[in-house]
Amino acid sequence: MEHLKDKGPPPGMASRALSTRFNSDLAVLPAQQRIDIGIHVSLIIVSEKSYARATSFTAISNTINTASRLETMTKEFAAQLVIS
């Protein structure tokens, strides 16, 4: 079974590859059309609030806060996408 541990990509390789490709594809956009995205994957709590026809969804979790901070970090790294 020891030989199976050597198989597969190193941890985080897929997210780094996705981030690199995404950033290079968006590099050609003018500054006013650039977007910044922070992605963090974990469990969240989602709530639907509704009254008559008005409906809103709310997500509460440290995951949301982390994703928001990652989005802010895109400016520090001059990237459009940061994934954790």
Residue 3: the pLDDT is 47
Beta strand 81-83 pairing with 37-39 = parallel
Cβ atoms of 81 and 16 within 8 Å: the answer is: no
Cβ atoms of 84 and 70 within 8 Å: the answer is: yes
Q: Both tokens of residue 77? A: 């790294």
Q: Which residues of the chain have pLDDT under 70?
A: 1-15, 17-19, 22-23, 25-34
pTM: 0.49
Which residue in the block uniquely carries the two structure tokens 């982390």?
A: 66
Q: Residue ranges per domain, the chain? A: 12-83
Residue 23: the pLDDT is 67
Angle at 69 between CA 14 and CA 76, to 5 degrees: 80
